[in-house]
Structure 1
């Protein structure tokens, strides 16, 4: 099955890495990216929609039809944000976009970038983990063909991409050591992108993917 994917967050490190793998995959036929500013990429199979209000897609709904995958890489850090603001930008924003896409496309696989340590019980613990857990749980209730919640933890960036966080660039030397200590200590952006692409030919329906699961799925043909 040829993939027609919508990708969000491509002006961030994870989204750009996923976009890069999609552009280079013969499994992906068409890509739509939705941004508030141009992402800086041009490719025959890439279409870009510049849209400012991610809580209202009514004016662009007609451009969101006909896709069978969504790689949702849009997210914010909880550092320095009040609980209400983080909830709005993590749970409310994600669910609004997901509900819109599930209404417009009934054969879509939705991949959500969550995080290692997410709290699926939604009780006690750290606020960001509870919010992410609620987001995961409610995404899996929507009428998508499949939902995959990715919990990558530490991510190794793809060399040469423009939106890589400075922190990761400084500590690239550390990744071989981490891999030697524990082969599942981190996931690469390449593995993230390949795993998302491979979910379209999977049959798990609803699933949480930890680091070892992402690495394994990236190797699927």
Structure 2
């Protein structure tokens, strides 16, 4: 199986990339991003694309799945800027994959609380992104994790989140016991994405409980 990973420099993408590289059924991984990852692996190739709305230089032919993990915090961003990264980047990837391989799987990391009619800006933008991905001729799945525990060296690129994760690490076992349906890990997200790519899922929108079950 050949897969594409967007956002591998971020916390979730790093975890997903790791699971792809250690999975014996994955033979090739193409990491697409705006900057080099600075790592090497026999399965891994990179495509550095300054403008992710223009993927004309990247060949998606022959790939079975795309794991789209790229995202930013909406804090301090205008809706137009947030939409450009969240919606435009994601749909550019989805549309390109649909053109070359409509039988491929596309998984998108969204978030709990996503709602195209929601009151919060990020929720509306992600909701529209989900809906338009699901309308593409692809096997599309929306992952809506809640609290994500980073594993195996995965770290957030957002300073505030890095600080919060350090504080919450000792509390994770307690949170997991109290609210098992609201937490997951970078490892579980990566494994669930691979399971969906290989076998599909009856659910198109997956919350933390469904992700963990996979």
Give the number of equivalent residue pairs. Answer: 210
Inter-partner Cα distance in structure 2 for 1:141 and 1:124: 20
* 8 Å contact kept, 1:27–1:197: no
1:30 maps to which residue? 28
Inter-partner Cα distance in structure 1 for 2:203 and 2:3: 18
1:171 maps to which residue? 168
Unmatched tracts of structure 1, length 5 or more: none
Aligned with residue 110 of structure 1, among 106, 116, 129? 106
CA shift, 1:64, in A, is 1.8
CA shift, 1:170, in A, is 3.0
Inter-partner Cα distance in structure 2 for 1:56 and 1:42: 25
Aligned with residue 53 of structure 1, among 46, 51, 65? 51
Aligned with residue 90 of structure 1, among 63, 86, 89? 86
Unmatched tracts of structure 2, length 5 or more: none
> Normalising to structure 2: TM-score of the pair?
0.92
2:151 maps to which residue? 158
Gap change, CA 1:169 and 1:159, over 3 Å in 2: farther
Residues 137-156 of structure 1: pairs in structure 2 closer than 5 A: 137-144=131-138, 146-156=139-149
Inter-partner Cα distance in structure 2 for 1:91 and 1:100: 14
CA shift, 1:124, in A, is 4.2
| Superposition RMSD in Å | 1.6
Gap change, CA 1:205 and 1:139, over 3 Å in 2: farther
